[in-house]
Amino acid sequence: MVAGHRSGATARLPWEAPPPPGYREAGTFATDLWAAYGAAIPADQHLPRGKGEGMTHHIERFLGTLRRRRARSVRETLSFSKQRENHIGALWFFIRLYNSSRR
């Protein structure tokens, strides 16, 4: 997970995160049509897809679940995180809990 601005530098962070031998070289990466992903991921491994093509529906569903289950993600609530570190920590906690409950 990467939290940050929608910039080219932020788009490169997930690409640089996996350990070099194996993961990056063997995978293909389906993303939305944001141009920064095209600059960060090699063209032969990048599959840019639009909303109607079904390649990003699982992450869109996860983000919908995240927004629905976590009041902290909505600014108008009393539980909104004002410090970036607390917000990112709560996101990591939710993602780990969510993944551990999946089969």
Q: Where are the domains of the chain?
A: 8-50, 57-101
pLDDT tens-digit map of 50-64: 877 777 777 778 878
pLDDT given for residue 12 in this prediction: 85
pLDDT band at 73 (very low <50, low <70, confident <90, very high): low
pLDDT tens-digit map of 23-50: 777 777 878 888 888 888 888 888 888 8
The interaxial angle of helices 84-101 and 57-69, nearest 10 deg, is 120
Specify whether the CB–CB gap between 49 and 56 falls below 8 A: yes
Burial class from Cβ neighbours inside 10 Å (0-12, 13-18, 19+) for residue 37 reads buried
pLDDT given for residue 100 in this prediction: 84
In the chain, pLDDT over 90 holds for what percent of residues? 0
Residue 66's contacts (CB-CB under 8 Å, 6 or more residues apart) are 73, 91, 94, 98
Q: Note the pTM of the prediction, 2 decimals.
A: 0.57
Looking at the DSSP bridge assignments, the partners of residue 47 are: 30
